[in-house]
Structure 1
Amino acid sequence: MVFQIRDNERKIFEVISRAAAELGFPTYVVGGYVRDRLLARPSKDLDIVCVGSGIELAQRVGNALHPRSRVTVYKRFGTAALKHRDLEIEFVGARKESYRSDSRKPTVESGSLSDDQNRRDFTINALAISLNEHDYGTIIDPFNGLEDLEAKRLITPLEPGKTFSDDPLRMMRGVRFAAQLGFKIDRKTLIGMRDNAHRLKIISWERIATEMNKLLLSPRPSVGLKLMSDTKLMDYVLPEMTALKGVESRNGRKHKDNFLHTIQVVDQLAEKSGDLWLRWASLLHDIGKARTKRWESNAGWTFHAHDAVGANMVPKIFRRLRLPNDKLKYVQKLVALHQRPISLTQEEISDSAVRRILYEAGNDIDDLMKLCESDITSKNPNKVTRYLKNYGELRDRMVEIEASDNLRDWQPPITGEYIMETFAIRPSRQVGLIKDAVREAILDGDIPNEFDAARVKMIETAATLEIYPVA
């Protein structure tokens, strides 16, 4: 294992080391940067711990780097941060913390490097490198973190119950690290997570969502999602996912485990796209199945309208996790439409059906198709090949019709304002009926996508409602 460091980082460390020596503060690089550099992973965050004032050290380093360096001070937390080129550098004074059972806000006291390492989440994040002249560059490893790094193992530095009870977000970080780094969580640590899962209730939803986003952006999100389920963390974060677990059998007929299916879909989608919100759509695409599961004697297990039900569940999940409103409609749309392409491949594809899906998906049609292709989890390779071939043919038809009709982000040539002006009517249900009739006629191919033909259809439809143009 080699500690890989870039030249610009070495220069930063020299500046920090000199500033710390001037102040008489023993100083160390700790945590994620040390771990990532030992794993040869990129890292743009530097955590600096000093036995002294982190704020004072940050200001001294900022002045040394550039007289007008902007140092952001967080007096309440006793920390400071500055940005230098592509590095985010945070400074904190070494501290020890004690917690009450009903809060994750600790009582903080000044401490030693050892105190600071004790409060870290995992042994691999408790590693420190000295920036002090007498032992510059020495790795300080009180919990055998190097050995755990080599073994790809996640273990808490202290007894797991204390580590997780003190800061329950560490459990979410653990499952995220497992997915990001491909590490295994030690059995005793896993038991500690399960025993303390209920403590997650005291953590803000914003912080939980940040960890969920990082987990979903990992190479194999299913690793972390499965661990969340096994440790009961999922029950507190996404109980709708927990509801998908299990297989029920009746009269020799059973359905698949929709939880395991979903996390496989997320992994397969992750191979196609790094887009966070498309990955969220893959996680939530079957979220409505638990509520729509029915046994029908002639059909077996059914999940009718799970797409529509799931789409209606998405806003509540977004509100709970404080996810951004501007991404809600995108995820909701993909959940609502994810069954449509498969239904089109099971019948003779009409031009009107293709026009309709192009219109409804708009510029998100490519993402929808990636989601649908990722939704194939059959263990039968012939089935997989057939489904992918059908989707390929559907994509070809979309390209043809898109080229001739240009329906992405399309709006009908007749607007609601034009309808009200033509017939001198106010906003009403009739305006919507006329506009819908024009749009449907174009999508069905009954009239061309042109203003004159659309206007004729508008007048014909209005006449059936006993509405006529003003003179």
Structure 2
Amino acid sequence: MNFKELLEELDIFARVGSCADELGLETYVVGGYVRDLILKRPCKDIDFVCIGDGIALANKVAASYGGHVPVTVFKNFGTAMIKVDDLDVEFVGARKESYRSDSRKPVVEAGTLQEDQERRDLTINALAISVNQNTFGALIDPFDGLRDMAKKIIRTPTDPNITFSDDPLRMMRAVRFASQLSYDIEAETFDGIMHNAHRLSIISGERIIDELNKIILTDKPSYGFKLLFVSGLLQEFFPEMVELQGVDSVGDKSHKDNFYHTLQVLDNVAAVSDDLWLRWGAIMHDIAKPATKRFNKKVGWTFHGHEDKGARMTPGIFRRLKLPMDDRMKYVQKLVRLHLRPIALVKDEVTDSALRRVLFEAGEDIDDLMKLCRADVTSKNNAKVKRFLANFDKVEAKLAEVEEKDQLRNFQPPVSGDEIMSIFGLRPSKVVGELKEEIKEAILDGKIQNNKIQALELMYRLAEAKGLKRA
């Protein structure tokens, strides 16, 4: 691979090299940009390491643009950043690090390029390419990161026990890169993760969930979750998911392993959607099965009510994992609560009322709910899967027919509470809520159509029965 030619494709590398030469600074492009350059993946973040003052180099490069490029300096970290076109370009002096056992924040000192590469998490992230004119394009690869890429291996540059103990977040990053690149984690490195999994406790929930979400967004997220599970990392921050694993048997009656079923559902969703929160819906849909598992001599294992209990568990899990406590959580909660509902609509004799209620409760998320329901069909029996999916085709056709007729996807009450209070001269009260609820139920039951004229007619009849008179 001709790195000189690859670097020449962007002006920034020759420009930084020229400025570095003027300052007498040995300078390299390092880390993720080099990795992605080799893998031919897009990357908008470029990190430069120099042997010396990185902030001075940043100022020199910014000045070379005629003073139009501002420099953002982070003195505490000894780094500086500029934006060039759509690139985020960072400069730092080479450094070495040492750690205390109770913190992932290092004590930083100036260091050599070798020491800077040694402190990096993985060999594939420890590559450097010179940008100085006399060595422009020369690859510095002391830990055989290029070879590891060829072999599709995730490995630490130095002793994995030290690497992961120093900064336990690196364990999550190792799994994340293995997931994103479909690489294997080298045996000694994986042993290091297993040995240090307990150290994840010193990492903030925000940093952990950031890495987990990147794993969830990979093409086949089950791979990352299996690595997290086997290594012991998953137990450290998501024990509810670990509890899904395992199969109980009584006589000849067993249930499926709900951990691996959940991973299959997650992969199925990932195949049709890159929406992070729909994928979280897949992760959470059976989360309450361990808590609701019972054995019945007649029917075997049951998980009655796991959808409702799972919906109740969702806010607590989101809060602990530092996931957003907003409409995204409510969306996942809704999917968990409703994920069994479409299955009941498969029957030929299903009523329009049942269809209306699912449309009403799912609202604008009905399409995502159906994606989750389809993904939830997992079986080694292909004929069974085909039959279930064909049934869902019928359900979706029925839903579309009812939706076209009744417009319930984004249901808004035809008569508002304010209107009811104005018409009858009422203050906010229980009777106002009762009138609204009875009108809604009449629409869902098909007794009246979803329009204002019929809703008002019903309201007047209901109000008369309650002894209410117009103001």
Q: TM bucket by the smaller chain?
A: over 0.9
Task: Judge conservation of contact 1:2–1:38 (CA < 8 Å) in 2.
Answer: no
The 5 A counterparts of 1:271-286 are 271-286=271-286
Match of 2:398 in 1: 397
Q: Aligned equivalents of 1:4 and 1:409: distance in 2?
A: 57
What is the aligned partner in structure 2 of residue 143 from structure 1?
143
Farther-moved stretch of structure 1 (381-390 vs 8-17): 8-17
Aligned 8 A contact 1:292 1:304 in 2: yes
Question: How far does residue 249 in structure 1 lie from its aligned partner after superposition?
Answer: 0.6
Aligned: 1:100 with 2:100? yes
Distance 1:298 1:419 in 2: 52
Distance 1:102 1:347 in 2: 62
Closer, same or farther: CA 142–74 of 1 in aligned 2, 3 Å: same
Shift in Å at residue 438 of structure 1? 0.8
Is the CA contact 2:81–2:88 (under 8 Å) kept in the aligned structure 1?
yes
Mapped pair 1:359 → 2:354 = no
Using the TM superposition, name which of 399-408 and 175-184 deviates more. 399-408
Return the TM-score normalized by structure 2: 0.96
Give the equivalent residue in structure 2 for 1:228: 228
CA contact (8 A) 1:79 1:92 kept: yes
Structure-2 change in CA distance of 1:2 and 1:328 (3 Å): farther
- Which residue identity is paired with 1:264? Q
TM-score (norm 1): 0.96
Kept in 2, the 8 Å contact 1:4–1:38? The answer is no
Counterpart residue identity of residue 41, structure 2:
R
Over 3 Å counting, the alpha-carbon distance change for 1:66 and 1:277 in structure 2 is farther
Alignment root-mean-square deviation, CA: 1.8
Q: Which secondary structure does the structure 1 equivalent of 2:365 belong to?
A: helix
Alignment of 1:60-71 (within 5 A): 60-71=60-71
Note the 1:230-269 alignment, pairs <5 A. 230-269=230-269
Deviations 1:133-159 (A, max 9, x none): 232111111111111110000111111
Name the CA distance, whole Å, in 2 between partners of 1:18 and 1:326: 50
Which residue number corresponds to residue 190 of structure 1? 190
Amino acid at match of 1:452: I
Q: Which amino acid aligns with 2:418?
A: E
What pairs up with 1:56-455 in 2 under 5 angstroms? 56-324=56-324, 325-346=326-347, 348-455=349-456
- Structure 2 letter corresponding to 1:251: G
How far, CA to CA, are the matches of 1:301 and 1:136 in structure 2? 66
Distance 1:382 1:446, change over 3 A: same
Secondary structure at the residue paired with 2:64?
helix
- Counterpart in 2 of 1:20? 20
376-385 or 339-348, larger mean C-alpha shift: 339-348
Query: In structure 1, how many angstroms separate the alpha carbons of the residues matched to 2:340 and 2:163?
Result: 44
Per-residue deviation at 1:185?
0.4
Task: Establish whether residue 44 from structure 1 lines up as the match of residue 44 from structure 2.
Answer: yes
Counterpart CA distance in 2 for 1:195 and 1:414 is 62
CA distance in 2, matches of 1:244, 1:412: 40
What displacement does 1:285 show? Answer: 1.4
In the alignment, structure 2 segments of 5+ residues that lack a partner are none
Letter in 2 for 1:60: K
* 1:163-186 Cα distance to aligned partner (Å, 9 max, x none): 001111111111111110000001
Take 1:303 and 1:4, find their aligned partners in 2: how far apart are those partners? 61
How many angstroms apart in 1 are the aligned matches of 2:278 and 2:5?
34
Q: Distance in 2 between matches of 1:202 and 1:418?
A: 55
- 1:423 offset after TM fit, Å? 3.3
- Using the alignment, how far apart are the partners of 1:320 and 1:9 within structure 2? 46
Taking the aligned partners of 1:65 and 1:328, their CA distance within structure 2 comes to 45
In 1, are the aligned partners of 2:266 and 2:283 still within 8 Å (CA)? yes
Distance 1:63 1:97 in 2: 31
1:373 alignment partner AA: R
Matched-pair contact (CA < 8 Å) for 1:161–1:192: yes
* Partners of 1:2 and 1:198 in 2: CA distance: 43
Moved more, 177-186 or 433-442: 433-442
1:9 & 1:214 partners in 2: Cα distance?
29
- Report the Cα offset of residue 426 of structure 1: 2.8
Q: CA deviation at 1:4?
A: 9.8
419-428 or 151-160: which moved more? 419-428
Change (3 A) 1:65 1:238: farther
* Distance in 2, Cα, partners of 1:7 & 1:158: 28
Query: CA 1:2–1:231 in 2, change beyond 3 Å: closer, same or farther?
Result: farther
Q: What is the distance in 1 between the residues matched to 2:268 and 2:3? A: 33
Structure 1: 5+ residue stretches without partners: none
Q: Which moved more, 1:72-81 or 1:414-423?
A: 414-423
Moved more, 100-109 or 333-342: 333-342
- Please state how far the C-alpha of 1:411 moved relative to its aligned partner: 0.9
Deviations, residues 102-135 of structure 1 (Å, cap 9, x unaligned): 0111111010111110111111111111112232
**Partners of 1:437 and 1:5 in 2: how far apart?**
73
Kept in 2, the 8 Å contact 1:15–1:65? The answer is no
Alpha-carbon distance, 1:403 to partner: 1.7
* Number of equivalent positions: 470
Q: What amino acid sits opposite 1:243 in the alignment?
A: E
Instruction: State the SS of the aligned residue for 1:29.
Output: strand
SS at match of 1:65: coil
Q: Distance in 2 between matches of 1:231 and 1:4?
A: 40
Amino acid at match of 2:334: K
CA contact (8 A) 2:8 2:14 kept: no
Q: Is the 8 A contact 2:118 2:157 kept in 1?
A: yes
Question: For residues 298 and 131 of structure 1, do their structure 2 counterparts lie closer, same or farther at Cα, with a shift above 3 Å needed?
Answer: same
